[in-house]
Structure 1
Amino acid sequence: MNIVIVRWILSLGAIATLAVYLLLTFTSPNTHISSAVQDQSRSLNQSTIALVTPIPPVQLTPDEISIAKLGMQLFLDPNLSSNGRVSCESCHHIFSNGAEDIKVSKGVKGNGVRNSPTVFNIAHNSRFFWDGRASSLESQMDGPVHNPLEMNTNWQKISDYVASVSDYKVKFTKYFDGKINEANIKASLKSFMVALDTPDAPFDLYLDGNKSALPAAAQNGWKKFQDLGCIICHQGTNVGGNLFQKFGNVNSTGEQEKDLGRYNVTGVESDKGVFRVPSLRNVANTAPYFHDGRAQTLESAIVTMARVQLGRDLDATTILELTAFLNALTAPPPPILEELLP
């Protein structure tokens, strides 16, 4: 079965589980809950942990490491763009946060229109771009390559350039029988990108049984993350990255929204303002936030999400505890980089 379909089925199952949990645990302040219901609620609350799983360690064979090195070389090469100045790394800084610290990135012909998401842990997403228009890494690569505001080129020109570089020719001869084409260039890039996992965040260690890995504030934040319903959308290995949601689902954002999100892809009226739910992995390091980079701090992003998605005004303690939990999703840089660097 197609992996994307499997992930959607798992996501729908997760949402169903959470719906039952929220239904059973929602009561007014004066409502008495029976001990049986309380026990069942506690059981369901424990089951929500299964909705988020740790990032696994990356293990590559020697041949896979070699192809990933080739992919990294391509990823870092600005000559793949039409002006020879914009590489994949220009917008996705692999030696810092996998993203960029500005609202929108600058490409060959000017500024883009959306914030660059991190490339770290990208293998655990099933949809790509803020509007989710790509369902595979291979098709995702077409976006920046063809976009005039990004690399402003095409795969034939990239293939011709790669074929003109002796070092590339040697490596493609060794790993791809000398065939330098779109498919093999994409395969090299993908081999590198899917290796950019960041395991061993404090939260992952906590999920693996080390309860002391999270400070008390972060543990409280994790509980509130579940109780508030954040986990309904931000779930899976990447704590997001696989579902869609309307930005301003409960309350208006209070701004005149110019980006119609997924509507630009589908033309469906109900998709206006709908975006892919972003991963929260390493989120403390990837400001600014949202599709247009409007939120400069994690705290302001939390306040905005609570207001427009949940219809809630959070107290200061809750904001601090949620911030502590989100910081616990920060992991060391991708370990594979140490193996791939010369």
Structure 2
Amino acid sequence: MSQYCSSPAIEVSGLVKRFNDTTALDGIDFTAEPGAVLGLLGPNGSGKTTTVRILATLAKADEGIARVCGYEVIRDAYKVRQLIGLTGQYASVDKDLSGHQNLTMIGRLLGMSRKQARARASDLIEEAGLTDAAAKPAKSYSGGMRRRLDLAASIIGDAAVVFLDEPTTGLDPARRGETWAMIRRLAAQGSTVLLTTQYLEEADHLANDIIVIDSGTVVARGTPDSLKRRMGSQTLDLRLSDPTQLEEATNRVQNIINATPVVDAHTGVLSAAVTDGEVMPAIVRSLDEAAIGVSDLSLRLPSLDDVFLTLTGHRATPADEKNEKEAAE
């Protein structure tokens, strides 16, 4: 059982952080309730890691207030550190110690008895899928194994609030699924999880609520479903058998839906937001009249990918990535 945490577990109000002439955070506000998984999404350089570092007492905001379990992260930094766990973007385990020794050492540093620390280490080694490598030095682990060991290290103390900054980067799909299970168990046990991720499917599966930030400001917030419904449409995906017919197909679809589809000339895929699913038969008839072959035609609800790109309108620029890296140092 995690440590007790007051409501809200995380509270951010008017947070501002500047790096020279760059404003990494420009007055963001959000809260997270105990036992919730809050997804923090945004392009590289949007301010996600900067936010995590401030909440984890590793950086100081220039303006605004940040609280964890009711404690201010600057004034009550010592108390905050006793309540949190952190997994950064890069694994930070002792490579000369074995996986089990790493976790046992951290347990001891947190005040556990030797027996308690060893038992807790064994449980987390199994949960992280590292049983076969438990006695091997961490320097022999793959990058994905070190990430899972790092995650286990961040939760060994039953933290009230856990910050996970892109915890599944570099993991294969099977190991990513195991990490998801660990995160779900954390929340079920009462821990609050702040999750930053570039995998939108990950946020869709895990997060109770999502905050989207871009250029240091909050541009949207809500549950995954509410953000998708905000799109107000479904997405039509159409793949042609012959990509050379893409222009004709685009014109015909555009005439039917009264909107310009998005075209990928390389893959021969045409996508369009539609408000009425009944347009599909009309599109099929029109393409058939023009002898345009279709290899795949589907109608789907918007994904978080659609929401993300609609809200931010861009991917990270090299300058964005540089600023975010500087914020993490």
TM class, shorter-length:
under 0.3
More strand by share: 2
Structure of larger gyration radius: 2
- In the superposition, the TM-score normalised over structure 2's length comes to 0.25
